[in-house]
Structure 1
Amino acid sequence: MTQFSLKRLAVNPTETIYLNHPKLDAFLSLNKTKEFLANAAADIFSNDNPEYYTPGMELEVLSQGVVRLLINAPATGFKLIFNEKNSTSQGSDVYALEVTKDYVAFLSKNESGPANILATTKSIPALLEPGVDCYYWFSVDKKNKLLKYGKGDATQSLTLLTYSVKENFLKNLKYVGSSLDWSTITKRKIYELPVTIQLPPFVIGNEDITLEDIEAGVITSVGNLPKECQMLHSVVAGPKIILTDEIIVGIRGSLKNGKLKEILDKKGEQHADPKESYLRITLGMDMGYSPGVPFVLELWPGNGHYSPIHTHSDAYAIIKVLHNAIDCFFYPDLRKQDIKPYLKATFKKDQVTYLTPTLYRTHKLYNPTDDFTATLQCYRYASEDKVHYETFDFLNDKLEVDTFVPNTDLTYTQLKDVLKKEGYLTTPLKSKSEAA
């Protein structure tokens, strides 16, 4: 069985309260929450339960999918509603999510109050963040009869509230309503698949998958990747995508006292911590379908060099380790409130990981070993992306979102020239076109 290192990091536990309608009053009385919920709901929504609908905010499959929204600096709470029609539900059965600064609840109708509560939590991580931009998501899953809610990426690891519908699941929900005017929500997305199991960050070729791997659930097969990732994987996954022993020895030596060390030291001077630096060696040219050159050999010196927490222009990516190993920390979102990772994975030589605009997109790479690490990063925009955001966003030393234009420290040809001049590279390395 393939060996992987994956650690789910501690996150504040949710305090989920599941409510059973026939015992609702007794349960609420016992826990002294009935008055609290009623007062909070009255404070935020009074007797008004607005619903706004807009074209495009529709589930592709009835009662299945996720709505994910960026709510900009909300002053009050909000609701999201899965509805059979694109007009006010007027007390009919729906699945609604209510997010406030005091509690979060799943509702059976778009009416605040204990009688309609399916499940609720007062866990601080789940609550509304007034005055702060944040992604919120709501998942409906008719096959497994589940409702889920979370923040950041729509993924199982970031689920903050879950409710299992015991019977009579609403199977004809199509439209997504909001208590907020849709014109105030600038970033919104519908996903066809609901949040179910967490697709692991480790990618393995179909020829290497075992029954034990499937049972353990620690791998993602190439066939399960989005088409953009599959295209990138087909280029870099081959057995000849390697660094030769000569090049490895040369890079190690040059990082110690050669040209690569000189370049690295200059980059380190730009940061409060000089170890927040690494080298970008580009391969080929910018083809127009990625942020910068699509293929980048990144060199991570040992003893704690790392990247800032960053994202990749809403692009898809494949990362293959060519030498040594790298730690990867994954974060819910790119903001100072989310600098605690929810997942850590260690990728070793020849192992592959991936990221998408919706999964594992915010991360930090770190080399804790004594030796340097080499990774091959490959990027591609979504086929339907007509904007092509050309910069990487990252958290700077002040934990503010800053931008970085993908550049190059050296091309791969220039790297080989450096190693040759420094006496490390003696064997000519030619492409197939040069050999012909």
Structure 2
Amino acid sequence: MSYSNSQKNLPRAVSLLPPVEFATQVLDHEESGAKTYVLPIHGQGVFLFSVTEPANLEGEIVSISFWDTFYKDGLRFTLGVGTLELSRISEETPLATVNTGLVQNRNAFYWISLDAHQRAIKFGVGEARLETMSFQYVLEGKTTDENHELVRFLEKLTTIKIPSVDSFKPIKLLRDPIVQSSPLRVKNTEELTMGDIANNSFLPKSNLSTIAQKLYDNVAGKRFVLDDESFSQFSQAIEYSIANPNGWCNATLIKKSGEFGEKNLNKTYLRITLGVNSGESPGVPYVMEIWPPGHYSPIHNHAGANAIIRVLHGAISVKLFPFLGTDDEESVAGFAVATFSKDDITWISPEMNQIHQLKNLDGNVETCITIQCYMYDAEDQTHYDYFDYLGTKGNTEHYEPDSDADFVWFKAQMKSEWEAHLKEQEEQFLKSNL
């Protein structure tokens, strides 16, 4: 799946939610209790939507149709709680009936992917990606000519028809269908190999959105490091401040131990901000985060913003979730875990990798230190300023990204603590009789 805008200047994603001006670009007309939207490219794309109260829908079903230009033929999804039926509109017999569909979770959202080239139709719950897919159907003819005819049938599909009811919420149209997994690690052009592309093992930096490429370039440089010529023992000083009962890091972690609900020292991390909030991101756009071994975040999202995360020291493990649950922290299972080490870079887009939980695993020895940077899409006129997270009682809570300290002050504080520590060690050595 490409995240760059390479096809006919068509946007890779079109919001169907407020602000209204974005929706009117694709809204065609309303008729007989239904709304219609036009696919950016005929025969392909992804439609994301939510159903706020699935069990309260009339008849407990919802119908979504993909029509050709003249409303002669198409595909219809009929969805209920735990049920899905796919039909070709011109035929009486359903193509497939399966035990998947809507789920009883008010935060859930769904996607349907249409891919004329592969004759593939997919459905999933949560972020639109292969890992969240719960249904796939490939139209198969008996001959090559029949398969070509099926491709032409799908390529004629231009319009999505949806129910006009309050509980059904169209969210977004994506230009490209879901065809393969998206690598979590990003690699720069100069380092990318043919094998990386063939094995789909890295996301090329050029495939990031324009905003994400900007963030990447700001933090991926060789001189963007912790231990530089101004303080070559910076990372050691941070480790010492965490371990020292009188250290600033130690005291601040203890102070924050109830930040996400009940007191839990391990459910804490430090946020050291670089620069100021200029209104382009949730909070200050550049944040150095400090994760001692065993420490972790709550499950949370990222306000629909783009983000780049680079590991500066140690290693961090990231668990991804399809959507933010509502009942308790186990109500929605994670679908992937990846561990990133020093200089690894990963990414977040408005549509992908938005919901995660970070942890410096218990068995690690080193503190993990990352640089995280955030920025809204240029088209984002909402600028939601909070990270929503799953609280200890299963409630969705709102966290306003804050700062524990400014980077310049923090570095000076660490240097002061470290120099005092070294001086004490020197004095002890002087008095010793080895």
TM value normalised by structure 1 = 0.80
Shift of residue 307, structure 1, vs aligned partner:
0.4
Contact in 2 for aligned 1:314/1:356 (Cα 8 Å):
yes
The correspondence of residues 282-361 of structure 1 with structure 2, limited to 5 A, is 282-302=273-293, 304-336=294-326, 338-361=331-354
Instruction: Give the AA of the match of 1:153.
Output: E
Unaligned runs of 5+ in 1: 1-49, 427-436
Query: Secondary structure at the residue paired with 2:268?
Result: coil
Shift of residue 287, structure 1, vs aligned partner:
1.5
Contact in 1 for aligned 2:53/2:167 (Cα 8 Å):
no
Tell me how far apart the structure 1 counterparts of residues 414 and 38 of structure 2 sit (CA, whole Å).
56
Contact in 2 for aligned 1:53/1:182 (Cα 8 Å):
no
Shift of residue 102, structure 1, vs aligned partner:
4.6
Q: Which residue of structure 1 lines up, in the alignment, with residue 395 of structure 2?
A: 400
Q: Which residue of structure 1 lines up, in the alignment, with residue 377 of structure 2?
A: 382
Q: Which residue of structure 1 lines up, in the alignment, with residue 17 of structure 2?
A: none
Q: Which residue of structure 1 lines up, in the alignment, with residue 64 of structure 2?
A: 80
Shift of residue 354, structure 1, vs aligned partner:
0.2
Q: Which residue of structure 2 lines up, in the alignment, with residue 53 of structure 1?
A: 35
Contact in 1 for aligned 2:387/2:401 (Cα 8 Å):
yes
Residue 137 (1) aligns with residue 111 (2): yes
Query: Secondary structure at the residue paired with 1:223?
Result: helix
Contact in 2 for aligned 1:247/1:424 (Cα 8 Å):
no
Q: Which residue of structure 1 lines up, in the alignment, with residue 425 of structure 2?
A: none
Change (3 A) 1:131 1:265: closer
Instruction: Give the AA of the match of 1:117.
Output: P
Tell me how far apart the structure 1 counterparts of residues 85 and 349 of structure 2 sit (CA, whole Å).
29
Contact in 1 for aligned 2:240/2:418 (Cα 8 Å):
no
Tell me how far apart the structure 2 counterparts of residues 73 and 424 of structure 1 sit (CA, whole Å).
60
Change (3 A) 1:185 1:345: same
Contact in 2 for aligned 1:84/1:172 (Cα 8 Å):
yes
Contact in 1 for aligned 2:196/2:202 (Cα 8 Å):
yes
Shift of residue 187, structure 1, vs aligned partner:
4.8
Change (3 A) 1:151 1:201: same
Instruction: Give the AA of the match of 2:277.
Output: D
Q: Deviations over 1:295-334 (max 9, x none)?
A: 00000011x1000000111000000000011000000001
Q: Which residue of structure 1 lines up, in the alignment, with residue 253 of structure 2?
A: 264
Instruction: Give the AA of the match of 1:222.
Output: K
Tell me how far apart the structure 1 counterparts of residues 357 and 89 of structure 2 sit (CA, whole Å).
41
Contact in 2 for aligned 1:109/1:116 (Cα 8 Å):
no
Q: Which residue of structure 2 lines up, in the alignment, with residue 5 of structure 1?
A: none
The sequence identity of aligned pairs, in percent, is 30
Q: Deviations over 1:91-129 (max 9, x none)?
A: x42112121235212211188xxx43112321xxx3322
Query: Secondary structure at the residue paired with 1:137?
Result: strand
Change (3 A) 1:268 1:129: same
Q: Which residue of structure 1 lines up, in the alignment, with residue 94 of structure 2?
A: 117
Q: Deviations over 1:363-415 (max 9, x none)?
A: 00000112210000000001101110011110011121110001000110111
The correspondence of residues 58-73 of structure 1 with structure 2, limited to 5 A, is 58-73=38-53
Residue 104 (1) aligns with residue 84 (2): yes
Tell me how far apart the structure 1 counterparts of residues 109 and 292 of structure 2 sit (CA, whole Å).
34
Contact in 2 for aligned 1:250/1:425 (Cα 8 Å):
no
Shift of residue 417, structure 1, vs aligned partner:
2.0
Instruction: Give the AA of the match of 1:118.
Output: L
Contact in 1 for aligned 2:107/2:326 (Cα 8 Å):
no
RMSD: 2.1
Aligned residues: 364
TM value normalised by structure 2 = 0.80
Query: Secondary structure at the residue paired with 2:95?
Result: strand
Tell me how far apart the structure 1 counterparts of residues 395 and 288 of structure 2 sit (CA, whole Å).
27
Q: Which residue of structure 2 lines up, in the alignment, with residue 21 of structure 1?
A: none
Unaligned runs of 5+ in 2: 1-31, 141-146, 422-434
Shift of residue 260, structure 1, vs aligned partner:
0.7
